[in-house]
Chains A and B, each alone.
Chain A
């Protein structure tokens, strides 16, 4: 019965969204306040209904209700509870339900926290958001319904792809979705403003926190996915330039650009046209990501939901929303008045550079991802575009971006003093030189560009520190003064410095692990040992292990350094039973200096085992950097200035309006 309640709640939720799409928009157009206010309870109700639907499906998974087709196809009673829960979004239908749930979540958040928004804008935003829910809701109900029942019920489920049975992968989709569905908010604001016809600094101030929230979650979601690939796919790679990864990376790049240009728009009322366009494009890229992943047009290792018919429907939704919003944009663009002016050397100028580079990077990834598909469609030629292409095109774009990064925040608005900023960055330049020299001396045989890359990362980090130091007047004021200023810095200043620092960390990690990875492929018999990156690894022998739905053969490795044992690793080969699949489980010794990464291979005739061992220097910095970026965003978001506009008013108003 619970399952049917969920199904009905889903239907009701979509119908409520339909009402929410029409009435407030209509009200806003004729200036009817009461009709506009329907948006608020509708958005909240819609979210609650979809939440009921989602929880009902989760319940079916938890109790393994095999009268539900979706559960039969994607779950198994022997699966541990946590993976039964994660199984809800580990498949096409469930993940689409999560998609609309997140859409509704953002809508409800605007309804609750958006008290200070212009009423017409709020009504329009919620109506546009609801229209996205309607489109995807109908898509779910009519082509991908997770509540379809099976008569008679099955006895047992078919199981989840064992490669997905992993904590990082189980919980990265919700983060990823909050991220890229979150950009729907920027889209709804942009379209609402275009309908409204009023696009100004005030609008930018309202849209920024939503963009920032989405960006944060997308950052952490992508990082979790990359971390999973690193330890689960078994060869120490952390990024593949796989179309599915690109699908989440493109909105991230565009979203990062959006964050920065919305700042210009709020502070200086400049770049209006571009900000609106970027808000539309960012969400369009999210939609395209959904299309690429769900339609299966790009077959890839990650694509586990392949159904071309559904793809056509999503393509239709995509064309409708992107086409519609761009037409509206074209209609309005002439009326957008350019705001504050600035010279090329200024904070605005640096943010324009940031946007040019990030947009080009996004376009590069987009072209690289879609080109083979388009070429094959039109000419029948089959080509591949892989990592070498992206490294060659995307990489060089990042160099000027990173070089310019420390300069931007130090430049003044309107007209900056590049010489003055250069002087302030002397410390960072010094760091650059020292790190480059040290890296070259230490790894003199490594790739030539690597010391430069490491130094670049260090430069970005030093730049972030410098920016903060300049703000608090380190070296130019008394200690008490510096301490006071540090305490008084707005949180957004902390946040941006921290996020930039995180980028530097990530660059260092990426360069170090790509350039200086050590690798060993060899056969070890029990009792034999080998040396890698200063560690001695001794193979003790093999041992068995059994889990709820798998059996595993593990190799016992003792890792020693300077004669004393550091850790014991158990790389293994796991055989899952439902469905049958073999995965390799890496044995990883993680430290800040680098990871020792071991993989067990096949048994050899002589009683030995094949091993693959890597030493990945500083690889943790990649994900730690992403975490720092996430927290930077979180601190910014907690800043009073960003917290959805003016709190004074909202507090007063909400006191007047009880029981809603």
Chain B
């Protein structure tokens, strides 16, 4: 309601202001003929010439010549106005300009018309496209940062600033690395652990941190960097199970199934009989064995297996797992359909599709997508090379 009152006031104000000149009496006796306005400008130009001459900016002779030319122009102007010379004004007259002012319109009616048209038109248009009933919803931070968290951020900022002064101070990196990891900034944490390692030398914490954050930053792939970190870690602590587990996973992801089985078995052999995670390792070995016997590469994308192994219990229910899997496969299907539909000119799309299939462990489909892509881009030397590289990377045969 307040809104409409506001609209009414605004409209009334605008209509009132605009209609003011119309409702005013024709009492302004001022000379409104256009000629006087033009004369003002000519007069101004004359005074400029005068001014320039007084200041000595132009010679008296030049000033006189300019003045003469300007005077001729003024005479011409006046002649035209008084109708002595036919000129542009005849055309002006066709539009009714320049003659004596005429009142061709009933101004009172016009006032009424505008007074009605403005509000009706505006309100009509607004009602058609506006949303007067919708309340505003300014953003309110739904998660208020705890003082502790903002303290941490401030601290991080200070350490970062210090590092920009002394990038080779390993202690700064050492402090930052676990904080980044805790804040979920794994890529930053990985870099920070790496820097601390390079500058301060290996320690168990740094190596473990680097390995873990490298894996997370690369979405579950045990990268070369991570592998190297865990190998070094084992030199410091040969019995550590986590490091051995990741190294076994690295072999598995790298396609060395037999090596992976051997590594897992070694873990079993050196562990206590009643360890909670034994069964999971055993399951994994069984799975790897069966894949060796013909089922191709095991689903290397299923990282939840690892999380169970590491943490001893899965944090995800089977149900949500299914939903996720469905969601993802839907997305992949959509991409595949789109690519086959629009003629498949999207090269990046194809590489992404191959990538996604590999991640999902659907090797056969990955191979098929790769073959399709080859068929489409085979003529293109550069892209064919890219596809070769892709095939090599995921060992899809060529």
Contact = CB atoms under 8 A, between A and B. Distances in A.
Interface of A: 1-5, 7-9, 11-12, 14-16, 18-19, 23, 26, 28-35, 37-38, 40-42, 44-45, 49, 60, 63-67, 77, 116-121, 141-142, 145, 147-149, 151, 153, 155-156, 195-202, 205-206, 269, 332, 335-337, 340, 412-413, 471, 485, 488-490, 526-527, 540-546, 551, 553-554, 556, 570, 607, 641, 645-646, 648-649, 653, 656, 660
A649 to B, nearest CB: 5
Given A4-B130, A554-B164, A49 B14 contact: yes
Interface string B90-121: 01101111111111110100100010011001
Contacts of B135: 1, 67
B319 interface: no
Nearest to B72: A340
Nearest to A555: B167
B137 interface: yes
B24 interface: yes
Contacts of B153: 546
Given A12-B118, A35-B107, A153-B137, 9 more contacts: A1-B3, A12-B11, A33-B32, A34-B21, A35-B110, A37-B22, A40-B21, A118-B37, A543-B160
B38 interface: yes
B198 interface: yes
18 contacts: A11-B122, A11-B125, A15-B118, A15-B121, A16-B18, A38-B21, A41-B21, A49-B14, A65-B136, A65-B138, A198-B92, A202-B37, A269-B73, A337-B87, A489-B57, A490-B57, A526-B167, A544-B160
A545 B164 contact: yes
Nearest to A544: B160
A641 B51 CA distance: 11
Interface stretch (B184-192, B205-213, B247-255): B184-192
B48 interface: yes
A35 B22 contact: yes
B95 A195 contact: yes
A153 B100 CA distance: 60
Tell me what chain B mostly uses at the interface: helix, strand, loop, or mixed.
helix
Contact of A543 (B3, B26, B91, B167): B167
Interface size class of B (residues with CB under 8 A): 35 or more
A67 B57 contact: no
Nearest to A539: B167
A199 B38 CA distance: 11
Given A15-B122, A34-B26, A488 B55 contact: yes
B156 interface: yes
B88 A335 contact: yes
Nearest to B162: A543
B157 A546 contact: yes
A542 B188 CA distance: 12
A197 B88 contact: yes
Q: Which of B11, B89, B110, B192 has the most CB of A within 10 A?
A: B110
Interface string B284-315: 00000000000000000000000000000000
In the complex, the 10 A-B pairs of residues with the closest C-beta atoms, listed nearest first? A541-B167, A64-B139, A197-B92, A37-B21, A63-B138, A30-B104, A153-B137, A197-B91, A67-B137, A543-B163
B316 interface: no
Interface stretch (B39-47, B267-275, B321-329, B379-387): B39-47
A588 B192 CA distance: 26
B34 interface: yes
B20 interface: yes
A505 to B, nearest CB: 27
A142 B66 CA distance: 54
B57 A471 contact: yes
A645 B130 contact: no
Interface in B62-98: 62, 66, 69, 73, 77, 87-89, 91-92, 94-98
A541 B126 CA distance: 60
Contact of A544 (B34, B121, B191): B191
Contacts of A5: 3, 6-7, 10
Given A196-B97, A660-B20, A116 B40 contact: yes
B74 to A, nearest CB: 10
Contacts of B176: 544
B147 interface: no
A40 B213 CA distance: 68
A1 B2 contact: yes
Contacts of A199: 88
B138 A11 contact: no
A200 B76 CA distance: 11
A12 B122 contact: yes
B317 interface: no
A66 B10 contact: no
Contacts of A26: 105
B29 to A, nearest CB: 11
A32 B137 contact: no
B142 interface: yes
Contacts of B130: 4, 7-8, 11, 147
B125 A336 contact: no
A151 B88 CA distance: 59
A335 B91 CA distance: 8
Contacts of A489: 57
A436 B149 CA distance: 63
Contacts of A553: 191
A509 B222 CA distance: 52
A592 B361 CA distance: 59
Given A335-B91, A485-B56, A540-B167, A200 B157 contact: no
Given A15-B125, A198-B88, A471-B57, A4 B104 contact: no
Contact of A42 (B18, B163, B185, B188): B18
A29 B121 CA distance: 25
Nearest to B66: A413
Contacts of B95: 28-29, 195-197
A1 B176 CA distance: 46
B126 A8 contact: yes
Contacts of A155: 142
